[in-house]
Structure 1
């Protein structure tokens, strides 16, 4: 896989993660308004922080590709980590929607 493709994969995972985290945040905010428990507030805080982290990653992927340009192993690690985060968020979203 070329360097541009690897960053494109990492960017796609980060974008999908933003969507999943937005869904989770909306659901958990609704639940917090209903139940007012600290656990749900913690889930909202978790989702917001992860949402900001993924949005920041997208910014860096699109604006500063040069950071990753000379290090294919770093690009691969970033793509794998984004993919793992996607899988974790997919399970969390699935469980939350049930």
Structure 2
């Protein structure tokens, strides 16, 4: 696996950890408050969890999908990094 794709896979793993924390907090909050806003946040976290889990699966099982073009690898890495910034900021604000 190429270095950029390995880094993208690592970032997807970090995103998963953050999203697991968000899911736990928002699930607890939904059980307590029963608001549609918290339910929406919980649905968002679950959807992003599934997306990142599938990304990790594809990184490790379909390496040929990303290995051909270095521009694609760089784009995937940048997108994973941007997602980490967004999810990391949201995790920080939620846990604070």
**Do they superpose with TM above 0.5?**
yes
CA distance in 2, matches of 1:60, 1:12: 13
Runs ≥4 in structure 1, deviation > 2 angstroms? none
RMSD: 0.8
Q: 2:85 aligns with which of 74, 78, 87?
A: 87
Cα offsets for 1:43-80 (capped at 9, x unmatched): 00000000000000000000001011111100100000
Q: How does 1:36-75 map to 2 (within 5 A)?
A: 36-75=34-73
Gaps of 5+ in 2: none
TM-score normalised by structure 1 residue count: 0.96
CA distance in 2, matches of 1:97, 1:70: 40
TM-score normalised by structure 2 residue count: 0.98
Gaps of 5+ in 1: none
CA distance in 2, matches of 1:4, 1:94: 30
